[in-house]
Structure 1
Amino acid sequence: MKEFDNFAVEQTEDGIAYLSIESESAMNSLNDGMTEELLWLGTELNEDDDVRCIVLRGSDGVFCAGGNITSFEEDSSAAARLRRGASFLNDVVHQLKRGETPVVTGIDGPAVGAGFALALLGDITLMHEDAYLQFGYPGVGLTGDGSATYYLPHLVGLQEAKRIALLNEKIPPAEAEEIGLVTEVADANSFDDRLEELATSLASGPTKALGSISRQLEEASARQLSEHLAHETERISKASQTEDYVEGVQAFKEKRDPDFVGY
């Protein structure tokens, strides 16, 4: 694995790739280099069968405070710059979500704007008791990118999504968990252990099947029933071609716990 300027990357023996945001910009804010590195990581890790779970988290009490607004232009060049930035970030989302590797986000501090969008990408999302989520974009007169306006209504429903986005208020952990914006909340003493526990649980499972299940659930509302049924049929047929399927069936017949390998 190469060196990165905006991430600390650790890949464990049990197949977990930990990506800790350590941005060169203040408050772990997004910059062009960080987006390019995350795009590279998302692409490479999804092609690596040894990677069975990707964990994206922050550092030093901050997840990601969004775009580096101090670098934003206020003249006619802003539109082109934002279009390029949003396009890069959209590519990151596509690479992280196109694959069948489960993603866990550890929201261990403020997640605002683009950081809010990245936080919602997890198939499982764990939020620190001292963190908060904030849509953020209206604060600088912008609208949203990086799938923020896609996953938000998927998770909480249309009316709740409008409240969160339009009022632009900070969402504390208890509320985020109650409305389904995150999977669960952990206190300061248990956050790291629980994040590892969740990642290990996914990494020890049938990786391809878990990733496929998550993608199907996310995409279901965009399809007609007949189209989705055909997609389900294709996915379950493909899953039967993995070693994990063979192991799962054999383990069931032998009345033992399966030992999945991730492909």
Structure 2
Amino acid sequence: MNECNNFNVEQTEAGIAYLSIESESAMNSLNDGMTEELLWLGTELNEDDDVRCIVLRGSDGVFCAGGNISSFEENSSATSQIRRGASFLNNVVYQLKRGETPIITGIDGPAVGAGFALALLGDISLMHEEAYLQFGYPGIGLTGDGSATYYLPHLVGLQEAKRIALLNEQISPDEAEEIGLVTEVADSDSFDDRLEELATSLATGPTKALSSISRQLEEAYARQLSEQLASEATEISEATRTEDYAEGVSAFKEKRDPDFVGH
């Protein structure tokens, strides 16, 4: 695997790939190199059968403070600059979410703007008790990218999403958990252990089935019932082609716990 300048990558024998954001920009903010590296990492890890769970987290008390605003243009070139950056980030999100590997986000510090968008990508999201979430974009007169306007209403509903985005207030861990913006909250003493526990739970499961379930749940909002039923029939029948299906049925018949291999 290529060496990264903006991420520390650790791949465990248990099949967990930890991506810790260590941006060259202040406050773990996005830069072009970081976005390129995340695109490459997401593509490579999703193609690696040994990787059964991807964990995206921050470092040094910060998840990601969004775009590197100090590099933003203020003249006529801003339009092309922002479109290029948004298109690149959106491609990262698409590659990460279209893969067959479950994703956990460990929100271990402030997540603002593009960092807010990345935080919402997790199939499971664990938030540190001292972190906060903030939509962020209106603070500099912008709207949203990186799927921020897609996952936010999916998670909390339209009215709550408008409140969060338009008022642009910081969302505390307790509030984030209460409204369903994150899965759960952990304190300083238990955060790392709980993150590992969640990742291990996903990494020992039937990887392709878990990813298919996640995609179907997300896409259900845009489908009619007949379309969703057709998708369910296709996905559940395709799942029978995996080794994990055969193992799961055998384990059930033999009255033992299954030993899933991820494919």
Using the size of structure 2 for normalisation, the TM-score is 1.00
State the one-letter code of the partner of 1:89: L
State the one-letter code of the partner of 1:124: I
Rounded to whole Å, the distance in 1 between the matches of 2:199 and 2:137 is 30
State the one-letter code of the partner of 1:44: E
Aligned counterpart, 1:203 = 203
Structure 1 residue ranges, 4+ long, deviating more than 3 angstroms after superposition: none
State the one-letter code of the partner of 2:18: Y
Rounded to whole Å, the distance in 2 between the matches of 1:41 and 1:228 is 31
Could you say what secondary structure the match of 1:152 adopts? helix
Aligned counterpart, 1:258 = 258
Shift of 1:231: 0.8
Aligned counterpart, 1:189 = 189
1:16-27 aligned within 5 A? 16-27=16-27
Aligned counterpart, 1:165 = 165
Aligned counterpart, 1:135 = 135
Which whole-Å deviations, capped at 9, do the CAs of 1:183-218 have from their partners, x for residues lacking one? 000000000000000000000000000011011000
Which whole-Å deviations, capped at 9, do the CAs of 1:2-41 have from their partners, x for residues lacking one? 1000000000001000000000000000000000000000
State the one-letter code of the partner of 2:95: Q
Shift of 1:73: 0.3
Could you say what secondary structure the match of 1:228 adopts? helix
Q: CA RMSD in A?
A: 0.4
1:100 pairs with 2:104: no
State the one-letter code of the partner of 1:215: R
Aligned counterpart, 1:73 = 73
Rounded to whole Å, the distance in 1 between the matches of 2:199 and 2:259 is 16
State the one-letter code of the partner of 2:224: Q
Aligned counterpart, 1:7 = 7
Aligned counterpart, 1:55 = 55
Could you say what secondary structure the match of 1:105 adopts? strand
Rounded to whole Å, the distance in 2 between the matches of 1:213 and 1:108 is 26
Rounded to whole Å, the distance in 2 between the matches of 1:145 and 1:173 is 23
Aligned counterpart, 2:41 = 41
State the one-letter code of the partner of 1:165: A
Shift of 1:63: 0.1
Aligned counterpart, 2:109 = 109
Unaligned runs of 5+ in 1: none
Shift of 1:100: 1.6
State the one-letter code of the partner of 2:221: S
Shift of 1:44: 0.7
Shift of 1:238: 1.0
Aligned counterpart, 1:213 = 213
Which whole-Å deviations, capped at 9, do the CAs of 1:115-137 have from their partners, x for residues lacking one? 00000000000000000000000
Aligned counterpart, 2:236 = 236
Using the size of structure 1 for normalisation, the TM-score is 1.00
Rounded to whole Å, the distance in 1 between the matches of 2:9 and 2:110 is 21
Aligned pair count? 263
Shift of 1:58: 0.1
State the one-letter code of the partner of 1:212: S
Shift of 1:49: 0.7
Unaligned runs of 5+ in 2: none
Could you say what secondary structure the match of 2:63 adopts? coil
State the one-letter code of the partner of 2:110: P
Rounded to whole Å, the distance in 2 between the matches of 1:70 and 1:84 is 17
State the one-letter code of the partner of 1:93: V
